[in-house]
Structure 1
Amino acid sequence: MAGFTGLSLTRGVSRLSVTQRKVAVSMAAVALGGGIWSMHFVAMLGLQLPILYSYDLLTTLVSALVAILMTGLALLILHFRARTPRSLALAGAIIGLGISLMHYIGMSGMELCRPVYTPLGVAGAIAASVVLPVLAVRVAYSERGRKNIILGTVCFGLAVVMVHFIAMAGTDFLPDGDAGDMGPALSNETLAILVTLSAFVISAAFLLTGITFAPSAEEGAAVAVAAPAEAPKAAPPLPWAEPVALRIPHEREGRTYFLDPAAVSALRAEGHYTMLQKGAETLFCPWSISEAEERLAPLGFLRVHRSFLLNPAHVVRFERQKDSGQCSVDGAEGLRIPVSRARLADLREALGL
């Protein structure tokens, strides 16, 4: 539930204002990080040992904050930077390391009982915590559709659970009579109350997110109307009408503006919409990447990747990478635009290479 809530809360936020995006990312970080923490301590409540043990309150709190902050950092990369294979892998690895850190910090808070780790258990937990969240992020963010979010949710849930139990399989426990002195002790009974409250918040957020996740009747009708097979044929132009130059729409603060295509350097897919790159500005466009390609291809725009449409006139750097490539555009040199192998020849020809 936490994975679904966090990934759903950030769906479509790229078209929001910076402030609204920060709020959505913060809420998603609390959901994902809180879910990591809750899963760990739900499992720890099921741990039975022949000796008495409790938890240091401060260490337990730190473990929750680490999970939330690491997840928040990953979401900032995903929603405030260009999404490239490298940034997706980096965000997934950060979430994974947050899962491992949360687990081992939480375990270090045990009092009257000392966990002892095996090197194989630690290595296996860290490997799982990096590989599986990277997979979850790549699945959930390759496209921001409902199917991808659900598959990413499954991968995220498996990652959290597998890291915990791989780590626990490589953990032994020894009695330790010295209680920690960092903060008050937290009994299993008190911990159960905190975990219950956390689970309640996650469940409530899950329900609120879920009711807006499925397409409504109006939305389904709109998709049906927009389907190519059912789209009405365009009316023939009036004989006295002057041709109107194509302009690219973009939306800002509830208003629609129009841009000369020559001013746009690239378009990036964002679910059913696209983000325009105009110099250093990133603007929301209601066109899908397929519609943008159909309209802009006659003007020289190239589909260089399934998620990117490029205006070769704005390319300032091109780099060949084995069978693929990467380029940058003026005004946004930090944006790395991938070029797939199938599109490489077309771009090189357009650039005169």
Structure 2
Amino acid sequence: ISRFFTFDEHATLIEGAYHFPLVVLSLLVAVFASFMAFNVARQAAITEDKIRRNTLLGTGSIALGGGIWSMHFLGMTAFDLCLSVNYDPFVTGLSAIPGVAAAWVALHLLIKTRISIAEIVLGGVLVGAGIGTMHYSGMAAMEMAPLLRYDLGMFALSIVVAVCLAMLSLWIKFGITAATKSKKLLGKHVLLASIVMGLAISGMHYTGMAAARFVLPPGMETSNQSSDIAVFLAISIAIVTLVLITTVLGISLLFKYRDVMVRAIESERIQSAITDTAVDAILTVD
């Protein structure tokens, strides 16, 4: 493992550059995916039907995990090394699994009505570790001529960023809401927590990218290649991810609408029973 953190100090390192619009797009995807997760978790928490709850948690985990993976891949395509870079499809596909696992942990914590400090810490560590594993396994899928090495300090910092911001996001969701006990501010808390969770996802990625060292082999030269394919791929990934997340949100809203209709029908039935039995002063409600 140590070889990934060591390289010749006299070696030539390749400096890449970012396409700013794709960086912004990756941040928006991370925040939107987090916002979806918080809303799906809130709906799952009040759903009594076990099958429906598991459906929400399952689809939510896949959508959030897909959002995490998509943010990572968007960030990768936003980074231009001025040389040919391919990705191993098998390793790239496997890299999505830790992201889905991190999403599953996050959603199962978010459906709780209360959460302890120990659970916030443990949840932050698990979510941060999942995001980190997804990122670095995705980096391992890169197929290119330069050697990929890491600065140990920045590598460790990237994990710390993911863990700390994940814990902060959970604390915002539960801590501030419990402290204020205001339902009016709940939406703002969810939005703020979503932004922080999105920063945990993207912050880990870009700190991890800052830790990367691309060592140029002797005799190799860089070249200016067109990034049109990368941009097209990035936009395609973003569209597919946003459609997936929107679909999950639609499922959540559908379940919410059905629950509201059931409560409305039940309320109407009770009101009708009260009216029908008012003369006899007898109330018959199952």
User: What is the TM-score with the length of structure 1 in the denominator?
Assistant: 0.52
- For 1:79-158, list aligned pairs within 5 A: 79=111, 83-112=115-144, 113-142=146-175, 143=177, 145-158=186-199
1:62 Cα deviation (Å)?
A: 0.8
Q: 1:117 to 1:110 in 2, by over 3 A?
A: same
Rounded to whole Å, the distance in 1 between the matches of 2:201 and 2:38 is 15
Rounded to whole Å, the distance in 1 between the matches of 2:97 and 2:236 is 14
Aligned position for 1:204: 246
Residues 63 and 245 in structure 2, CA contact (< 8 A), matched pair in contact too = no
1:81 Cα deviation (Å)?
A: 9.6
**Which residue identity is paired with 2:41?**
T
**Which residue identity is paired with 1:27?**
T
SS at match of 1:10: helix
**Which residue identity is paired with 1:157?**
G
Q: Does 1:168 align with 2:204?
A: no
- For 1:1-353, list aligned pairs within 5 A: 1-14=32-45, 15-79=47-111, 83-112=115-144, 113-142=146-175, 143=177, 145-175=186-216, 188=230, 192=234, 195-202=237-244, 204-205=246-247, 208=250
Corresponding pairs, count: 212
**Which residue identity is paired with 2:162?**
S
SS at match of 1:23: helix
Residues 122 and 170 in structure 1, CA contact (< 8 A), matched pair in contact too = yes
Rounded to whole Å, the distance in 1 between the matches of 2:50 and 2:245 is 27
Q: Which has the larger strand fraction?
A: 1
Rounded to whole Å, the distance in 2 between the matches of 1:157 and 1:211 is 22
**Which residue identity is paired with 2:78?**
G
**Which residue identity is paired with 1:19?**
I
- Would you identify which runs of 4 or more consecutive aligned residues in structure 1 move more than 6 Å? 209-212
**Which residue identity is paired with 2:80?**
Q
Aligned position for 1:278: none
Q: 1:86 to 1:29 in 2, by over 3 A?
A: same
Q: 1:157 to 1:84 in 2, by over 3 A?
A: same
1:82 Cα deviation (Å)?
A: 6.6
**TM-superposition CA deviations, 1:186-235 (whole Å, max 9, x none):** x95895476245333245348748978xxxxx9xxxxxxxxxxxxxxxxx
Rounded to whole Å, the distance in 1 between the matches of 2:113 and 2:97 is 23
Rounded to whole Å, the distance in 2 between the matches of 1:7 and 1:209 is 14
Instruction: Determine which structure has more spread, i.e. the larger CA radius of gyration.
Output: 1
Which residues of structure 1 form unaligned runs of 5+?
177-186, 213-217, 219-255, 258-353
Identity %: 28
1:71 Cα deviation (Å)?
A: 1.7
Q: Which has the larger helix fraction?
A: 2
Which residues of structure 2 form unaligned runs of 5+?
1-31, 178-182, 218-228, 255-259, 261-284
Q: 1:4 to 1:138 in 2, by over 3 A?
A: same
